[in-house]
């Protein structure tokens, strides 16, 4: 009954917006939405931002400033800012989208849970853990109530809360949540899905942080195999998996195995994300630390200086050399560059649009996001 009532409210809001706009505006907005998604899947974030801004302006003008589809455009644009480390620009858009959805759809709607999740991801990326935690907890409660405890969106919320605990060193709270997320995704999505790879990666990082290297290594290796097969060898999440496996080898003194993985991760990130992205700085710092440990001081200094300049130019992230026992860049979690980069097109849309999976299907049925099912697979979380 709760979902039925929420869908009635949502349908009424959508109908009001549809009546208010012209068919031409609706078609144009649909085209802009598709173009934004396509550019994002190609990693062309700056171009995607420009198109996303056009889509938002058109949605506000055609649907009205309080329409749920305006919230969709706000979330899409905020997600693009977040994956580029432009956190100050992302926050007010996420906050406005949340307010629109709470008013238009009600406080227990799954799309409200998606907005809470995305705002929490942003706060986590900024190290604002105390603000992120209650948002994740509320998003999880909404999704469990509306969707059931085994739904993939519930797995996403469980995973993100676990990652928040992990990066704070709250390992005893993180482990059962990571294990639950993995079980949900393996059952719901299959053992070769990119979200399963994300979950394996994050559980491996948890074990690694605790010095449980023998348990972490096969999880990292399985995660890498999954994402290379599903996303292709040049995808940013392949770089994340390489980076994290390299970190595991580095902390064990297995430098000969770590160096080529860091180097490959750096090349992928520079190409896919751009040379100024915070994740490029992460890998530069870790590779610099490895070179210092190998006595290659001159090479280490050059890499560290480049990372420092990226940080200084305000691209986000934390400065300084990454501790060798903590590899950065977990997927679909508060320290990931993109909840939305590590998922097939449906999950990418959930992240960047900030929608529940049910709403994604409704938009597909309405033709708003036609043609994306066959897109190349592309981060947390939803």
Token pair belonging to 365: 């049925």
For residue 14, is it within any domain? yes
What per-residue confidence (pLDDT) applies to 314? 56
- Residue 253: give its domain's CATH number: 1.25.40.10
Tokens, residue 69: 């589809």
Same-domain check for residues 6 and 130? yes
pTM, 2 dp:
0.74
Q: Residue 207 domain-assigned?
A: no
The answer to whether the Cα torsion of 114, 354, 153, 244 is positive or negative is: negative
Q: How far apart are alpha carbons 206 and 165 in whole angstroms?
A: 10
Q: Which of 197, 199, 203, 198 is nearest to 216 (CA)?
A: 203
pLDDT tens digits for range 290-339: 999 999 999 999 999 999 998 887 544 433 333 333 334 444 433 333 33
Domain count, the chain: 2
**Cα(75)–Cα(289) distance, integer angstroms:** 37
Does a structural domain hold residue 16? yes
* 229 and 281 co-located in one domain: yes
| Residue 238 structure tokens | 């392949």
Average pLDDT (124-152) is: 96
pLDDT of residue 317: 41
Give the pLDDT confidence score for residue 150 in this predicted structure.
Answer: 96
Helix axis angle, 357-365 relative to 110-125, nearest 10°?
120
Check pLDDT > 70 for residue 74.
yes
Any domain includes 156: no
Range of the domain at 364: 1-150+344-382
> Is pLDDT of 240 > 60?
yes
Question: pLDDT tens, 13-70?
Answer: 554 544 445 568 888 988 998 998 888 777 688 899 999 999 999 999 999 999 999 9
CA-angle at 118, arms to 117 and 122, nearest 5°: 115
Contact 84, 280 (CB under 8 A): no
Same domain, 141 and 224: no
pLDDT of residue 51: 94
Alpha helices per DSSP H over the chain = 2-20, 23-41, 45-63, 68-83, 87-105, 110-125, 129-147, 152-167, 171-189, 194-209, 213-231, 236-251, 255-273, 278-293, 297-312, 345-349, 357-365
Domain C-terminal end among 331, 356, 372: 331
Average pLDDT, the chain: 81
- Which pLDDT band holds residue 213 (cuts at 50, 70, 90)? very high
Same domain, 103 and 65: yes
The CA angle 18-22-28, to the nearest 5 degrees, is: 95
Cα 8 to Cα 266: distance, rounded to the nearest angstrom: 48
pLDDT at residue number 362:
45
Q: Tens of pLDDT along 77-110? A: 999 999 888 999 999 999 999 999 999 999 999 9
Q: pLDDT tens, 251-294?
A: 999 999 999 999 999 999 999 888 988 889 999 999 999 999 99
Q: Is 343 left (phi over 0), alpha (psi -120 to 50) or beta?
A: beta
The encoded tokens of residue 234 equal: 């040049």
Whether residues 134 and 245 fall in one domain: no
Q: Which residues of 84-101 are buried (b: 16+ CB within 10 A; e: fewer)?
A: bbbbeebbebbebbbebb
Indicate the residue among 303, 331, 359 that finishes a domain: 331
User: Are residues 229 and 97 located together in one domain of the fold?
Assistant: no
Query: 228 in a domain, yes or no?
Result: yes
DSSP 243-308: HHHHHHHHHTT-HHHHHHHHHHHHHHHHHHH-TT-HHHHHHHHHHHHHHHHTT-HHHHHHHHHHHH
232 and 122 in a single domain? The answer is: no
Q: Encoding tokens for residue 348?
A: 């990418």
CA distances from 295 to 194, 250, 288 (A): 37, 14, 11
């Amino acid at each position: 009954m709760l979902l039925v009532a929420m869908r009635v409210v949502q349908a009424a809001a959508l109908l009001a917006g549809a009546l208010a706009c012209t068919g031409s505006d609706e078609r144009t907005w649909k085209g802009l939405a598709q173009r934004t998604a396509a550019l994002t899947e190609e990693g062309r974030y700056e171009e995607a931002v420009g198109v996303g801004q056009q889509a938002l302006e058109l949605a506000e003008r055609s649907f009205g400033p309080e329409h749920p589809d305006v919230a969709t455009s706000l979330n899409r644009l905020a997600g693009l800012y977040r994956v580029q480390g432009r956190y100050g620009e992302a926050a007010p858009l996420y906050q406005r989208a949340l307010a629109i959805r709470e008013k238009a759809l009600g406080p227990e709607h799954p799309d409200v849970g998606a907005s809470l999740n995305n705002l929490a991801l942003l706060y986590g990326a900024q190290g604002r853990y105390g603000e992120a935690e209650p948002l994740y907890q509320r998003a999880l409660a909404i999704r469990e109530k509306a969707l059931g405890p085994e739904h993939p969106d519930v797995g996403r919320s469980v995973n993100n809360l676990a990652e928040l605990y992990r990066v704070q060193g709250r390992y005893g709270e993180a482990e059962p949540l990571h294990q639950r997320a993995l079980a949900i995704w393996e059952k719901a999505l299959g053992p070769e899905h990119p979200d399963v790879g994300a979950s394996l990666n994050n559980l491996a990082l948890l074990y690694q942080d605790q010095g449980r290297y023998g348990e972490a290594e096969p999880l990292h290796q399985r995660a890498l195999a999954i994402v290379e097969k599903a996303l292709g060898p040049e995808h940013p999440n392949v770089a994340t998996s390489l980076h994290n496996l390299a970190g595991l080898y580095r902390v064990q003194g297995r430098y000969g195995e770590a160096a080529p993985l860091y180097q490959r991760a750096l090349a992928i990130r520079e190409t896919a994300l751009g040379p100024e992205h915070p994740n490029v700085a992460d890998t530069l710092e870790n590779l610099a630390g490895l070179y210092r440990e190998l006595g290659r001081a001159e090479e280490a200094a050059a890499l560290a200086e480049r990372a420092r300049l990226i940080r200084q130019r305000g691209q986000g992230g934390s400065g300084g050399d990454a501790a060798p026992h903590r590899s950065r860049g977990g997927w679909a979690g508060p320290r990931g560059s993109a909840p939305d980069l590590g998922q097939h097109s449906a999950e990418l849309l959930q992240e960047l649009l900030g929608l529940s999976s049910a709403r994604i299907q409704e938009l597909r049925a309405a033709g708003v996001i036609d043609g994306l099912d066959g897109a190349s697979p592309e981060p947390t979380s939803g």
